[in-house]
């Protein structure tokens, strides 16, 4: 049995040998080592290196060796590798801060202080109140796409605050007036919604006395900021239009456009024929004569009246009947600029359809 095949011994260690003069063992004795200068091998089966002058292998193909099994290298001409790499130098934050302070001080003395950045509260705040590119402003107004808006700008068709703008990339603010021809453009896409106003709500954006107002009824309807077109009294019900289209609002409320409105009126007593004819022929009020377009009895009694007019004067329907000694018990606007409250319950709103928007635009032409 060869030395390499002998099994490992187990148990207690072998006692010390007492006789050093014992004869040599016969049989397959272990051969003498040919070279006592060879470095001692670690491990059981690793052969000696035959050639120390062979070219060194590249690091990419050489597997990493653990420290426990590495043999001593016979080549002493190779520089020894350090046991541990030097620790990384840590950044001196204090020194950096002093350098930055010196730079800031120099810039301040030279008058080159960095400009303060505008604090942006939120993305929604920036979209609503911050500057916006002119082509996006025009596109949001609903008249064309951004590409077509660039063409309008380059051809000099757009004015900002009375000045013709031809440079692409120009930015505008919400307070700027942007015109295309004689039309004032709005920053947002036009939105139109119709409310069937209930009683006891005032027509205002806000109220200092904390009374109920119509904006409470359309809150959250859209992200655009809309406002009422015209007004209805607290005790008057019926159609009220909301929009962010300033040009449309201006035309719907201007007397020269004569927007048609129809009201249902309920009086405290019957309207006699003489007073009926006075209203039909025109009646003199404190601020001038007023003529209605049409008046008719609409119910079983003469207390229920239907009246059509174009005037936009304040409380005009109530003042007509109060001038003749009647008290208006109920007043409801059932038609406004061709729009009706069909399928629109009291206190609810709906957005106008494309067909209704087109009718609205034709009405003010």
* Domain covering 123-185 in this structure, CATH number: 3.10.290.10
Domain coordinates in residue numbering, the chain: 123-185, 190-257+340-365, 260-336
- Please report the pLDDT score of residue 44 as a whole number: 47
Q: Give the CB-side neighbour count of residue 80, counting CA atoms within 13 A.
A: 5
- Please report the pLDDT score of residue 157 as a whole number: 92
CA–CA gap between residue 64 and residue 280 (Å, rounded) = 109
- Please report the pLDDT score of residue 47 as a whole number: 53
Rounded to two decimals, the pTM is 0.56
Among residues 190, 315, 286, which one has the least CA distance to residue 247? 190
State how far the alpha carbon of 143 is from the alpha carbons of 174, 176, 179, 235, in Å.
18, 18, 12, 38
Residue 206: active-site member: no
- The helix (run of H) or strand (run of E) holding residue 105 is helix 93-109
- List own/partner pairs for 270-276 with CB under 8 A and 24 or more apart: 270/301, 270/302, 270/303, 271/297, 271/302, 271/303, 271/305, 271/321, 271/326, 272/302, 275/324, 275/326
Partner residues linked to 179 by β-bridges: 159, 184
CA–CA gap between residue 303 and residue 16 (Å, rounded) = 137
- Please report the pLDDT score of residue 4 as a whole number: 46
- Please report the pLDDT score of residue 266 as a whole number: 96
**Nearest 10 degrees: CA dihedral of 332, 333, 335, 336?**
-170
Residue pair 337/363 in contact by the 8 Å Cβ criterion: yes
Q: Which two tokens stand for residue 268?
A: 């405290």
Among residues 349, 361, 360, which one has the least CA distance to residue 239? 349
- Please report the pLDDT score of residue 1 as a whole number: 46
- Helices and strands (H, E) in the chain, number of each type: 9, 17
- One digit per residue, the tens of pLDDT, for the chain of length 365 reads 444 445 545 444 455 555 555 555 554 445 555 555 555 555 445 555 555 555 555 544 555 555 444 555 555 566 566 565 556 666 665 666 777 777 777 777 776 555 555 544 454 555 566 788 898 888 877 677 788 889 999 999 999 998 999 999 899 887 888 999 888 887 777 899 999 999 999 998 888 888 899 999 999 998 888 889 988 999 999 999 999 887 788 888 887 888 899 999 999 999 999 999 999 999 999 888 898 999 999 988 999 999 999 887 889 999 999 999 999 999 999 999 999 998 899 999 999 999 999 888 888 76
Q: Do domains 123-185 and 260-336 have the same CATH topology?
A: no
Superfamily of chain region 260-336: Pseudouridine synthase (3.30.2350.10)
In the chain, % helix, strand, coil (3-state, to 5) comes to 25, 20, 60
Q: Which two tokens stand for residue 143?
A: 């008249």
Topology (CATH) of 190-257+340-365: Alpha-Beta Plaits (3.30.70)
State whether the Cα torsion 134-136-140-143 is positive or negative.
Answer: positive
SS3 228: strand
Residues listed for the chain: 365
SS3 213: strand
CA–CA gap between residue 351 and residue 331 (Å, rounded) = 24
Q: Which candidate in 176, 206, 210, 233 is catalytic?
A: 233
Rg (CA), the chain: 48
């Amino acid at each position: 049995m060869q030395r390499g095949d002998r099994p490992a011994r187990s148990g207690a260690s072998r006692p010390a040998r007492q006789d050093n003069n014992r004869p040599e063992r016969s049989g397959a004795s272990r051969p003498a080592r040919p070279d006592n200068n060879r470095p001692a091998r670690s491990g059981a089966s690793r052969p000696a290196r035959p050639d120390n002058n062979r070219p060194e292998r590249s690091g990419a193909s050489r597997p990493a060796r653990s420290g426990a099994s590495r043999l001593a290298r016979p080549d002493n001409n190779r520089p020894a590798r350090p046991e541990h790499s030097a620790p990384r130098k840590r950044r001196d934050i204090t020194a950096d801060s002093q350098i930055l302070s010196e730079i800031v001080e120099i810039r301040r003395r030279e008058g080159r202080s960095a400009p303060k950045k505008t604090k942006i509260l939120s993305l929604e705040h920036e979209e609503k109140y911050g500057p916006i590119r002119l082509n996006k402003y025009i596109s949001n107004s609903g008249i064309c796409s951004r590409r077509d808006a660039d063409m309008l700008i380059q051809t000099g068709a757009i004015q900002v605050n009375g000045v013709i703008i031809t440079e692409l990339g120009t930015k505008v603010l919400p307070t700027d007036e942007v015109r295309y021809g004689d039309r004032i453009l709005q920053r947002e896409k036009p939105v139109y919604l119709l409310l069937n106003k209930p009683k006891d709500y005032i027509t205002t954006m806000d109220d200092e006395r904390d009374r109920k107002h119509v904006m409470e009824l359309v809150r959250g309807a859209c992200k655009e900021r809309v406002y009422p077109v015209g007004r209805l009294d607290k005790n008057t019900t019926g159609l009220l239009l909301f929009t962010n289209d300033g040009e449309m609002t201006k035309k719907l409320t201007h007397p020269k456009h004569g927007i048609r409105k129809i009201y249902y009126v309920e009086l405290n007593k019957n309207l006699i024929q003489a007073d009926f004819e006075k209203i039909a022929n025109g009646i003199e009020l404190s601020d001038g004569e007023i003529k209605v377009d049409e008046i008719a009895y609409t119910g079983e009694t003469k207390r229920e009246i239907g009246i059509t007019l174009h005037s936009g004067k304040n409380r005009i329907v109530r003042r007509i009947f109060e001038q003749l000694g009647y008290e208006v018990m109920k007043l409801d606007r059932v038609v406004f600029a061709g729009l009706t409250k069909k399928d629109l319950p009291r206190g609810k709103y709906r957005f106008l359809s494309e067909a209704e928007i087109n009718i609205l635009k034709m009405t003010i032409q």
